[in-house]
Structure 1
Amino acid sequence: MKLKKFGGTEQKIYDMVAPIVTGLGYLVWDVRYEKEGADWYLRIFIDSETDTISINDCEKVTTPVSDLLDEKDPIAQSYILEVSSAGLEADLVRESHFDACIGCEVRARGIRPFEGGNREVVGILEDWDKEGITLKVNDTEQKYSFQSLAFVKLYFDFG
């Protein structure tokens, strides 16, 4: 996996909407501008430091963000705006995500099986750098390079 950096359209949108989102008491977790089939989607993922995100929270953010985007018109072609929660198992794809999640339980999936044959590992994110992550798994620190990983997500035990 590669760390994602804001750039171009996503950075422009982030810079525009972040003051609105933070003013409403939320955080912008990620901005994605993606094409699916014939349609373009502008996806804004929000989070909260104090609570879970509900559909009402997404609705509360959508209207002022949509109004601002309509006014400023930063994207030439038509697109579908989606505002949603980053989710319980949010993807960690940016440097700020790894910084914010030190000490959190995460799930990492390897491109190929790790030593021992497993493709996934769950552990506490102890540290990270440009090369990879260090997880504490069963009281042992293990390092995984980003090149060996398909993804890293927050982990939630559903049961």
Structure 2
Amino acid sequence: MSNIAEEIEKLVSPIVEELKLELVDVEFVKEGRDWFLRVYIDTPDGNIDIEQCSQVSEKLSEELDRIDPIPQNYFLEVSSPGAERPLKKEEDFQNAIGQFVFIKTYEPINGMKEFEGYLLAYGPDAAEVEIRIKTRKLTVEIDKDKIALARLAIDFSA
């Protein structure tokens, strides 16, 4: 996470908590010539609406104008994490047990760097994912420190 994203996370966390929402992720990324500050929020039951996004956006905009932590011009986007919600925190992984996930690793495990399957377990050291290779189901253990990216995924084979 970039320094700006970390700073914004500290700034937006109290706003989100006050509204009884969950902060899922903060990104500060350059796309083409433009910079985007993206804040992903959700409700505990996963039913975020546009009004809640708008409330967070307005309050965060006021704080950003007051503190001005970002030197360049940028677009602020506050939205739902969507169906393919990122898994970043321990709690995210625990809540995703039994769900279909996509995990990308920093280095190959059994010759693969991308895994799609059902998250069976998430412990102190590793995640266990049941993947399918053609008609076979295999359980793969992925060390936590090898996970580069993890998110919920949609199982199109079901």
TM-score by length of 1: 0.74
Between Structure 1 and Structure 2, the one with more strand by share is 2
Paired position in structure 2 for 1:84: 79
Tell me the SS of whatever aligns to 2:6.
Answer: helix
Map 1:80-159 to 2 at 5 A. 80-95=75-90, 97-108=92-103, 120-128=115-123, 133-136=127-130, 141-144=139-142, 151-156=149-154
Deviations 1:91-117 (A, max 9, x none): 224555335534544234689x997x9
Distance (Å, rounded) in 1 between the aligned partners of 2:39 and 2:98: 25
How much identity, in percent, do the aligned residues show? 32
Residues 100 and 155, structure 2, Cα contact 8 Å, conserved in 1: no
Q: Counterpart amino acid of 2:150?
A: V
User: Is 1:52 aligned to 2:50, yes or no?
Assistant: no
- Higher relative contact order at CA 8 Å, sep ≥6: structure 1 or structure 2? 1
- Segment of structure 1 superposing worse, 49-58 or 79-88: 49-58
Tell me the SS of whatever aligns to 2:86.
Answer: coil
Distance 1:89 1:102, change over 3 A: same
Distance (Å, rounded) in 1 between the aligned partners of 2:22 and 2:115: 29
- Runs (4 or more) in structure 1 with deviation over 3 Å come to 93-97, 99-105, 107-111, 136-141, 144-151, 155-159
RMSD of Structure 2 on Structure 1 (CA): 3.3
Q: Counterpart amino acid of 2:116?
A: V
- Segment of structure 1 superposing worse, 88-97 or 35-44: 88-97
Distance (Å, rounded) in 2 between the aligned partners of 1:125 and 1:99: 10
Q: Counterpart amino acid of 1:35?
A: K
Distance 1:38 1:114, change over 3 A: same
Q: Counterpart amino acid of 1:142?
A: V
Paired position in structure 2 for 1:33: 28
Tell me the SS of whatever aligns to 2:71.
Answer: coil
Residues 102 and 116, structure 2, Cα contact 8 Å, conserved in 1: yes
Paired position in structure 1 for 2:8: 13
Structure 2 residue runs of 5 or longer lacking an equivalent are: none
Tell me the SS of whatever aligns to 1:107.
Answer: strand
Residues 25 and 40, structure 2, Cα contact 8 Å, conserved in 1: yes
Structure 1 residue runs of 5 or longer lacking an equivalent are: 1-5
TM-score by length of 2: 0.74
Q: Counterpart amino acid of 2:32?
A: G
